[in-house]
Chains A and B, each alone.
Chain A
Amino acid sequence: MNEVLMEVQDLSKHFTVETSLLGKPVSVLKAVDGVSFSIDKGEAFGLVGESGCGKTTLGKILVNLYSPTNGKIFFEGKELTALNEKQRRSYCKDIQMIFQDPYASLNPRMTIGDIIAEPIIINHLLPKSEVEERVIYLLNCVGLARHQRNRYPHEFSGGQRQRVGIARALAVEPKLIVCDEPVSALDVSIQAQVLNLLSDLKSEFGLTYLFIAHSLNVVKHISDRVGVMYLGQLVEIAPKRELYANPLHPYTQALLSAIPIINPEKKKERIILKGDVPSPINPPAGCHFCSRCFKEFEPCKLKAPVLKEISPNHWVSCHLF
């Protein structure tokens, strides 16, 4: 059942920060810099990285909020990047997004019933008479009551609003949902509720997820495979168990070790990375991570490493391998 649903080839997104007087780009922000990977049908692919790594930008490219500067995207075999605007927009029925901030992702002037109904209506998915039924059904799927559909977003808590966002994403019956840090703005006790909900919905509707997060512990429960990004590039991809048990890239190791363990008995050996995340504007040649890497050696500053398959399904981009 390893049918590829979405494939990304050498995807890049560059933002011009400064131009010379004649309009030539002087400094370029390479938010996403040559990323390639694929997501199988029914899989949950966790994409992890810290701020500035480009994971959110990548997610936004997939849902057509940004157009890529370079590279190709294939969905069910069709090349999306070759389509015109109108054709590309029709794919919104297949690829949807759940946003990070529950307080900003719902239009404060619309009732939540209208918010959930909108995608159905503008895509002409159901006759008018059946829309309300479907909205009620979706509300139930995410654990909200039918009478709440006439309320406004400000009357709900963060966790409930996030559920509305999920219901909206589900409304068009998409095949792939990009979850952009859906729980980071929520309280800890609510995070578990929402993570469980996402898990259940995936099984119930046969969804595929690209689950974006900034920390490895959040994606652990929900992902099948995990990819780690740093400064616009993918540095490691592996099936979940493999990544957590045997992280190969020094950055992945540092990320894992930085997560506090809830057990004061187990004092662990912390890898503290030196320095800060460098700016994605005009990144250095060679490996992007070498300035902070604790295992850096000769070739790191000179040449950029490429993503190679080291063991079955385990890919790393590092000169150590």
Chain B
Amino acid sequence: MAKDYESNSNKNLIQAEEYVEKPESQLIEMWETLRQNKAAVVGLIIIGLLTLIALVVWASQLMGKQILPYDPNFSDMSQSFVWPNAQHWFGTDQLGRDIFSRVLDGTKISLSVGVAAVTISLSVGVFLGALAGYRGGRTDAIVMRLMDMMLAIPSILLAIAFMAALGKGLDKAVIAIGLVSIPEYARLVRGSILSVKENDYVQAAKVIGNKDSRIIFKHILPNIMSLIVVRATLGISTAVLDTSALGFLGLGVQPPFAEWGDMLGRARGFIFNAPYTLIFPGIAITITVLAFNLLGDGLRDALDPKSRIK
């Protein structure tokens, strides 16, 4: 009886050999699709460049070597407000500091704040969203109402409020920006879990005896990871922007550190006589945010199984 089956299974064997494609990992497929999206690749290259700059600058400073053309914090009043020339590619600012070096130095702050803030938002947001989505009922109601309250306040105001409580400083800025974005991730994860929860394979996981926590981590989260990754990438750009905004307002980085938003803020008054003090940090912010947005969009398209080029 089951033997009858075996001869069929041999047929199936042969069929299967021919029918099944070589197992391609989903990452490779995703990469293939991403590669086709020129904009996303540009974004990726820019981010790569920026990361390289940040790492090199940070490493060299750690080792005590000066790799930048000038010390970003070295102030030479005799050289203030110099227009961009061969010695100072981006010119100098009101305190005679080389803008080019400061912009490069600022890269490490902006990137690290961006990543750190997103890490905070992600970890707390995913946890809360998973709790609300999977448990439902009262837990869901309580958590989401809390999130709604946070979302009701514009993010910058909320960040400022947090800073007021925490005090000034870069590390406090990171925490504030991180906290502010928690509701978005919580909502995203909760929504995804609600839609994935009813899938048969999640039910099957329950039937074979899985505990709730294992179901969330092993079965649900991996299947919504793509959404989270896309959101996080776009979130980094938002965090960079928020850092700059706080810096502009004088709440983030404290002098004399070079941070693009802070540079913009201090150069506000010089927009007519020395526009280069504003233009270059401004371009730096724009390029960084754009790069992350392009990558994020590209990732979203790449991770959407329907749009994948098959």
Contact = CB atoms under 8 A, between A and B. Distances in A.
Interface of A: 60, 63-65, 89-90, 92-93, 96-97, 99-101, 104-109, 118-119, 122-123, 140-141, 143-145, 148, 150-152, 155-157, 160, 165, 168, 171-172, 193, 196-197, 200-201, 203-204
A74 B47 CA distance: 62
B204 A122 contact: no
Contacts of A101: 200
A266 B208 CA distance: 46
Interface string B219-230: 100110000000
Contacts of B208: 92, 96, 118-119, 122-123, 168, 171-172
Contact of B9 (A97, A143, A155): A143
Interface in B182-220: 199-201, 203-211, 214, 219
Contacts of B206: 64-65
Contacts of A157: 19
A168 to B, nearest CB: 7
19 contacts: A60-B203, A65-B207, A99-B200, A104-B199, A105-B201, A106-B201, A108-B201, A119-B209, A122-B208, A123-B208, A143-B12, A144-B16, A145-B16, A148-B16, A155-B23, A200-B1, A200-B2, A200-B5, A204-B1
A90 B199 CA distance: 23
Nearest to A99: B200
B21 interface: yes
A123 B2 CA distance: 28
A25 to B, nearest CB: 15
A193 to B, nearest CB: 7
B28 interface: no
B8 interface: yes
Contacts of A156: 20
B42 interface: no
B77 interface: no
Given A105-B203, A122-B209, A144-B16, 20 more contacts: A64-B206, A65-B207, A92-B207, A92-B208, A93-B209, A101-B200, A106-B201, A107-B201, A107-B223, A119-B208, A119-B209, A122-B214, A141-B2, A143-B8, A144-B9, A155-B23, A172-B209, A200-B1, A203-B1, A204-B2
Interface in B1-46: 1-2, 5-6, 8-9, 12-13, 16, 19-21, 23, 26
B201 A97 contact: no
Nearest to B214: A122
Contacts of A143: 5-6, 8-9, 12
Contacts of A65: 203, 206-207
A176 B104 CA distance: 68
* A-B complex: 9 closest residue pairs judged by Cβ atoms: A143-B9, A92-B209, A105-B200, A119-B208, A104-B200, A107-B201, A99-B200, A145-B13, A109-B222
Given A119-B209, A122-B210, A200-B1, A193 B200 contact: no
A105 B205 CA distance: 9
Nearest to A98: B204
A89 B208 CA distance: 9
B209 A123 contact: yes
A267 B94 CA distance: 98
Chain B interface mostly:
helix
Nearest to A90: B209
B16 A150 contact: no
B200 A100 contact: yes
Nearest to A105: B200
A155 B222 contact: no
Interface in B248-272: none
Contacts of A152: 23
A200 B13 CA distance: 20
B24 to A, nearest CB: 9
Contact of A168 (B9, B20, B204): B204
A160 B17 CA distance: 13
Nearest to B221: A109
B200 A63 contact: no
B210 A145 contact: no
Nearest to B8: A143
Contacts of A123: 208-209
Interface string B33-66: 0000000000000000000000000000000000
B208 to A, nearest CB: 4
A104 B2 CA distance: 27
Contacts of A99: 200, 203-204
Contacts of B26: 109
A104 B214 CA distance: 19
A148 B2 CA distance: 20
Given A99-B204, A155-B23, A107 B210 contact: no
B21 A155 contact: yes
Contacts of A97: 204, 207
A151 B209 contact: no
Contacts of B204: 97, 99, 105-106, 165, 168
A197 B5 contact: yes
A118 B208 CA distance: 8
A116 to B, nearest CB: 10
Nearest to A96: B207
